[in-house]
Amino acid sequence: MQAFTVVDGLVAPLDRSNVDTDAIIPKQYLKSVKRTGFGPNAFDDWRYLDPGEPGMDASQRRVNPEFVLNQPRYQGAEILLARKNFGCGSSREHAVWALTDYGFRAVIAPSFADIFFNNSFKNGLLPIQLDEAVVDQLFRETEATEGYRLVIDLAAQTVTTPAGEAFGFEVDPFRKHCLLNGLDDIALTLQHADEIRAYEQKRRAEAPWLFRETAS
Amino acid sequence: MAGRTLYDKLWDAHVVREENGTALLYIDRHLVHEVTSPQAFEGLRLAGRQPWRGGSVLAVPDHNVPTTDRSHGIADPVSRTQVETLDANCREFRITEFSMNDIRQGIVHVIGPEQGATLPGMTVVCGDSHTSTHGAFGALAFGIGTSEVEHVLATQTLLQKKSKSMLISVDGQVGPGVTAKDIVLAIIGEIGTAGGTGYAIEFGGEAIRALSMEGRMTVCNMAIEAGARAGMVAVDETTIEYVRGRPYAPRDDEWERAVAAWSELHSDDDAEFDRVVRIDAAGIKPQVTWGTSPEMVAPVNGRVPDPEQEMDSVRADGMRRALEYMGLSPNMPISDIAIDKVFIGSCTNSRIEDLRAAAEVVKGRKVANNVKLAMVVPGSGLVKAQAEQEGLDRIFLDAGFEWREPGCSMCLAMNADRLEPGERCASTSNRNFEGRQGQGGRTHLVSPAMAAAAAVAGHFVDVRELAS
Ligand code: SF4
């Protein structure tokens, strides 16, 4: 996993609440058995005017000039500014893969859906929750200033505006540690393999029906 | 010591270790389908890992499978690759799979309970947000992402933080013609699609207790549409009777021990919840969604709301956008909305009881002329067989419905079943997001009885009036 320390990135505003995972990556792209290559289809239904199917060459498609991410000023954005309940809907991690493959490193919103929030950390995408009033302010500033950037410092847990105004954010210490160091959860968990086995042994005695094999 | 909630009990029983508020939670049952697992198996392979306890896993292809004749396999090469990848991964890692032509194949959230693979007191996960369904059994069940699928395969555990707890008590009794689907849509209308974010919801109250297991599954299924990863219902006689005798259920002495253990799976009388919501069951009417989020819902005898009347400007904008997408005008009666297609199916409403409820409305009637396609997609091969035994297929076919093979189908349109742009569908599924059932498609979520009533009327109609 790519580590996250400091990102100084261009901000793109997506001014809608309840952006769902079907919108972030439509279902036809979930047929892929890979983890990569979803970026050209992030927000597919909004981004293009023609209906998209897997395998199409994105450069040949009709782009929707109205969609905010298609505006020249937001090309190369690494920070997505969004509204409440971002990432609601399905558990598809493809939504996170689409955002990271597109080039986003962080999403700032007043609230996130739980599964999306979890999935983000597993892929080096930092979801930052800020107060609605602060998000409002960031929307205003982003829209008013071409080339608007924010600096996100994970170690310090701050988002800093070009004017030097810094907003603190919360992050779970364990997730922060993993993200700062780009650590793989599985290897960390397997350090506790003995404890997992001990739990299983005790539990098997108490409730053997939980351990019945599916192949029977 | 204060009493514990059902959620507390399930949680406590599965903590392997805890550090700084993050628990390593043991997972009893892992359900797997073809869409969210390939990258997880690939991860195992790359790291040279094996499943920790392959016998805890049950796999099934459901999202991509065709619902028409399967004897020639899957026509779409991309879908076929995904299903074949699941088959190959299950062979390689020795995981039990109900493959496409197995009679036990079906939607992952239908087959788990049907097989007794979902049991009270379990932790159940699946790379699918509607895993909340299994909470109906007094289990802690929630959807996970693909990285977590890999984590569970490799370690049999998940790193989790405990959620807050919410009790939604549906007090009193619902009127005739009002179903589990209407209850849960009314709840979402009340608390909103983010109302449950950060919470594990326990559904209780007289109206929930009165529901069958099928009904409880419908309610828990849509907990995620209220933002909660997990929804659950306490164990009672209804639960135990449903589980008894299922293929993976405990037997003999073990059954007795299990039943004794399961009788503890309810919140203590003095348990405290972080939030309590009370809903009066008698006030719930048959529901129809009018927008592009499940919270955009109204009673069938109501009207499409008017954004001009909405004080909150962000909400009003959302409503305007939804109405435009849905092709509806403010203040029009819900019952004036004509439909093009009807879909009865999905992990929300494709169980035998759902099909019975729909068949009862359809019996002796015909699908209206303006309805281009009305389809019934049973939740599993076994549900299909049971329905055929009861003659429900004949009722649907005689009325002009199509009777299909089991799978997710037009719930999310990954297979060939989908809406064309602008088409309007009465659907028993769980999501009405833009494009969910096909790009440009318009989805109205309803109960099976309401979908059946809409099919015969050609527009939404109060099933309670149709019946009389
Ligand atoms: S039926 Fe629909 S909601 Fe349920 S698992 Fe399948 S796609 Fe997901």
Provide the token pair at B60.
């099934």
> In B304-421, where do the E strands start and end?
341-344, 373-376, 402-403
CB–CB of B55 and A213 under 8 A? yes
Q: What is the dihedral of CA A109, A113, A114, A120, to 10 degrees?
A: -60
Residue pair B376/B354 in contact by the 8 Å Cβ criterion: no
Residue A216 confidence (pLDDT): 62
Neighbours of B222 (CB within 10 A): 28
Best of B153, B419, B433, B443 to substitute, by most chain A Cβ atoms within 10 angstroms, is B433
Burial degree of A103 (CB within 10 A; 0-12, 13-18, 19+): middle
- Please name the residues between 248 and 277 in chain B that touch chain A, using a CB distance below 8 Å: 248-250, 254, 257-258, 261
CB A99 within 8 A of CB B185: no
DSSP state letters, A62-95: -B-TTSGGGSGGGTT--EEEE-SSBTBS---THH
| Phi and psi, residue A142, nearest 5° | -60, -45
User: What's the DSSP call for residue B191?
Assistant: H
Q: Does B62 touch chain A (CB under 8 A)?
A: no
Global pTM value: 0.94
Number of CB atoms found within 10 A of residue B389's CB: 9
Nearest to B227 among A88, A92, A189 (CB): A88
pLDDT level of residue B467 (50, 70, 90 thresholds):
low
Do residues B303 and B333 touch, judged by C-beta distance below 8 A?
A: yes
Q: How far is CA A8 from the centre of its chain?
A: 17
Ligand 1 proximity of B411 Cβ (cutoff 6 Å): yes
In terms of DSSP bridges, do strands A126-129 and A106-109 run parallel, antiparallel, or are they unpaired?
A: parallel
Measured between CA atoms, how close is B285 to chain A, in angstroms?
A: 25
The DSSP annotation for A97-134 comes to: HHHHHHT--EEEES-B-HHHHHHHHTTT-EEEE--HHH
User: Do residues A122 and A147 lie in contact, with contact meaning Cβ atoms separated by under 8 Å?
Assistant: no
Token digits for B18? 């805890």
Q: Which ligand 1 atom is nearest residue B431's CA?
A: 3
Is the CB of residue A83 less than 8 Å from the CB of residue B314? yes
Distance CA B290, CA B16 (A): 45
Q: Pick from A1, A176, A2, A197: which is nearest to B20 by CA?
A: A176
pLDDT tens per residue, range B433-458? 999 999 999 999 999 999 999 999 99
Flag if B435 and A22 touch (Cβ within 8 Å).
Answer: yes
Phi then psi dihedrals of residue B316, to 5 deg: -60, -40
Sheet with B140-143, strands from edge to edge, namely: B96-97, B57-59, B29-32, B123-126, B140-143
Mean pLDDT value of segment B341-351 = 98
Token pair listed for B81: 């690759």
Question: Helices marked H in B48-144 — which ranges?
Answer: 77-92, 108-115
Which residues from chain A sit within 8 angstroms of residue B431, using beta carbons? 20, 22, 89-90
Candidates B39, B151, B412; nearest CB to A34: B39
Facing residue for B197 by CB, picked from A55, A113, A212:
A113
d(CA A129, CA A111): 6
pLDDT tens-digit series, residues A93-129: 999 999 999 999 999 999 999 999 999 999 999 999 9
Strand order across the beta sheet in which A158-160 lies: A126-129, A106-109, A79-82, A6-14, A149-153, A158-160, A166-168
**Average pLDDT for B215-233:** 97
Residues of chain B with C-beta less than 8 angstroms from the C-beta of A2: none
Pairing relationship of beta strands A149-153 and A6-14 according to DSSP bridges: antiparallel
Got the DSSP string for B258-305? Answer: HHHHHTT-S--TTB--SEEEEEEGGG---EEE-SSSTT-EEETTSB--
Q: Is the CB of residue B107 below 6 angstroms from any atom belonging to ligand 1?
A: yes
Ligand 1 center to B395 CA (angstroms): 25
The B residues from 335 to 364 touching A (CB cutoff 8 Å) are: none
CB contact under 8 A, A93 and B145: yes
How many A from CA of A130 to the centre of ligand 1? 32
Q: Are A42 and A101 in contact (CB under 8 A)?
A: yes
Tell me the C-alpha distance between A117 and A18, whole Å. 14
Backbone φ and ψ of B269, nearest 5° = -55, -35
B176 in A contact zone (CB under 8 Å): no
Q: Is the CB of B128 under 6 A from ligand 1?
A: yes
More confident residue, B69 or B188: B188
- Which residues are within 8 A (CB) of B251 and not within 5 positions of it... i.e. 6 or more apart? none
Q: Which two tokens stand for residue A65?
A: 């000039």
Q: Is B347 in the pocket of ligand 1 (CB under 6 A)?
A: yes
Q: Give the tens place of pLDDT for each residue, B135-170.
A: 999 999 999 999 999 999 999 999 999 999 999 999
A11-53: pLDDT as tens digits: 999 999 999 999 999 999 998 988 899 999 999 999 999 999 9
Q: What is the pLDDT of residues B268-304, one digit of tens each?
A: 999 999 999 999 999 999 999 999 999 999 999 999 9
* Closest CA relative to residue A12, chosen from A159, A148, A157: A148
What's the rounded Cα separation, in Å, for the pair A40 and A58?
6
Protein residue closest via CA to atom 2 of ligand 1: B411
Helix (H, G, I), strand (E, B) or coil at B169: strand
Residues paired with B444 in a beta bridge: B426
Decide: B24 and B123 in contact? Cβ < 8 Å: no
DSSP, residue by residue, B188-219: HHHH-TTTTTTEEEEEESHHHHTS-HHHHHHH
User: Which of A20, A43, A90 is best to mutate for the B interface (most B CBs within 10 A)?
Assistant: A90
Contact A115 B52 (CB under 8 A): no
Q: How many Cα neighbours within 13 Å face the side chain of B40?
A: 31
Measured over the CA atoms of residue B399, residue B405, residue B411 and residue B412, the dihedral's sign is negative
Mean pLDDT of chain A: 95
DSSP B198: T
Q: Are B17 and B155 in contact (CB under 8 A)?
A: no
Residues B430 and B446: beta-carbon distance below 8 Å: no
A contacts of B20 (beta carbons < 8 Å): 173-174
> Pick from B145, B155, B261: which is nearest to A186 by CB?
B155
Q: For residue B307, which of B327, B331, B326, B289 has the smallest C-alpha distance?
A: B331
Quote the ligand 1 centre to B50 CA distance (angstroms). 28
Q: Are A87 and A80 in contact (CB under 8 A)?
A: no
Nearest residue (by CA) to ligand 1, atom 5, is B347
Over residues A163-177, the mean pLDDT reads 95
The residue with greater pLDDT, A183 or A97, is: A97
Q: Which of B429, B431, B445 should be mutated for ligand 1, with most atoms under 8 A from CB? A: B429
Q: How far apart are CA A183 and CA A121, in angstroms?
A: 11
Q: How far apart are CA B295 and CA B186, in angstroms?
A: 8
Q: A56: part of which helix (H) or strand (E)?
A: none
Helix, strand and coil in chain A, % to nearest 5? 40, 20, 40
Q: How much of chain B exceeds pLDDT 70, in percent? A: 99
Considering only CA atoms, which of B318, B284, B315 is closest in space to residue B301? B284
Q: Nearest by CB to B24, which of A91, A172, A189?
A: A189
User: Which amino acid is present at A19?
Assistant: V
Answer yes or no: do B198 and A114 touch at CB < 8 A.
Answer: yes
CB–CB contact A93 B49 (8 Å): no
Distance from the Cα of B414 to chain A's closest Cα (Å) equals 6
* Dist CA B334 CA B343 (whole Å): 18
Between the CA of B34 and the centroid of ligand 1 the distance, in Å, is 12
Asked whether the beta carbons of A105 and A5 are under 8 A apart, the reply is no
Q: How many residues does chain B have?
A: 468
Q: Could you identify the residue written with the tokens 């109900």?
A: B98
- The pLDDT score that the predictor gives to residue A184 is 82
pLDDT single digits (tens) B91-149 = 999 999 999 999 999 999 999 999 999 999 999 999 999 999 999 999 999 999 999 99
CA B411 vs CA B207, B223, B349: distances in Å: 27, 17, 11
Please name the residues between 80 and 119 in chain B that touch chain A, using a CB distance below 8 Å.
81-82, 85, 94-96, 117, 119
| Mutation choice for ligand 1 from B107, B221, B415, B437, CB with most ligand atoms inside 8 A | B107
> Which chain B residues in 284-343 lie under 8 Å from chain A, judged by CB atoms?
293, 314, 318, 321
Residue B468 has pLDDT above 60, yes or no: no
The amino acid at residue B83 is V
Distance CA A184, CA B291 (A): 40
Cβ–ligand 1 distance for B346 under 6 Å, the answer yes
Q: Which amino acid is residue B107, in one-letter code?
A: I
pLDDT tens-digit series, residues B133-143: 999 999 999 99
